[in-house]
Amino acid sequence: MSNKTTAIGHSNIAFIKYWGNRDAKLRIPLNDSISMNLDALTTTTTVAFDDALDQDIVQLDDQPADEKTAARVREHLTRVRALAHIETRARVASRNNFPAAAGLASSASAFAALSVAAARAAGLDLSERELSILARQGSGSAARSIPGGFVEWLAAKDVNYTSEQSYARTLMPPDAWALTDVIALVSPDAKKVGSTEGHAAAPSSPFLAERLARLPMRYHHVRRQTLAKNLTRLGPDLEAEAIELHMLAMTSQPPIFYWAPGTVRVLDAVRAWRAEGLEAYYTLDAGPNVHILVAQQDAAELARRVRALEGVQDVLTSGPGGAARVSEDHLF
| Positions in the binding site for ligand DP6 (CB under 6 A) | 14, 17-18, 27, 33, 107, 139-141, 195-196, 199, 245, 285-286
- Return the number of the residue (1 or 26) whose C-beta is nearest ligand DP6: 26
- Return the number of the residue (111 or 177) whose C-beta is nearest ligand DP6: 111
Nearest to 112 by CA among 102, 126, 98: 126
- Return the number of the residue (48 or 133) whose C-beta is nearest ligand DP6: 133
Under 8 Å between Cβ of 122 and 81: yes
- Return the number of the residue (22 or 89) whose C-beta is nearest ligand DP6: 22
CB of 140 to ligand DP6, least distance (A): 3
Residues 112, 234: Cα–Cα separation, whole Å: 27
The distance from CA 3 to its chain's CA centroid, rounded to whole angstroms, is 28
Please state, in angstroms and as integers, the Cα–Cα distance from residue 228 to each residue in 168, 177, 222, 240, 323, following that order: 20, 9, 10, 19, 21
CB of 59 to ligand DP6, least distance (A): 20
CB of 281 to ligand DP6, least distance (A): 16
- Return the number of the residue (254 or 277) whose C-beta is nearest ligand DP6: 254
CB of 285 to ligand DP6, least distance (A): 4
- Return the number of the residue (68 or 85) whose C-beta is nearest ligand DP6: 68
**DSSP one-letter string for 173-198:** -GGG--EEEEEEE---SPPSS-HHHH
- Return the number of the residue (23 or 62) whose C-beta is nearest ligand DP6: 23
CB of 317 to ligand DP6, least distance (A): 19
**DSSP one-letter string for 215-284:** HHHHHHHHHHHHHTT-HHHHHHHHHHHHHHHHHHHHTSSS------HHHHHHHHHHHHHHHTT--EEEE-
CB of 256 to ligand DP6, least distance (A): 11
CB of 276 to ligand DP6, least distance (A): 30
Phi, psi of 214 (to 5 degrees): -85, -20
Q: Which residues contact 295 (CB under 8 A, 6 or more apart)?
A: 178, 179, 180, 231, 279
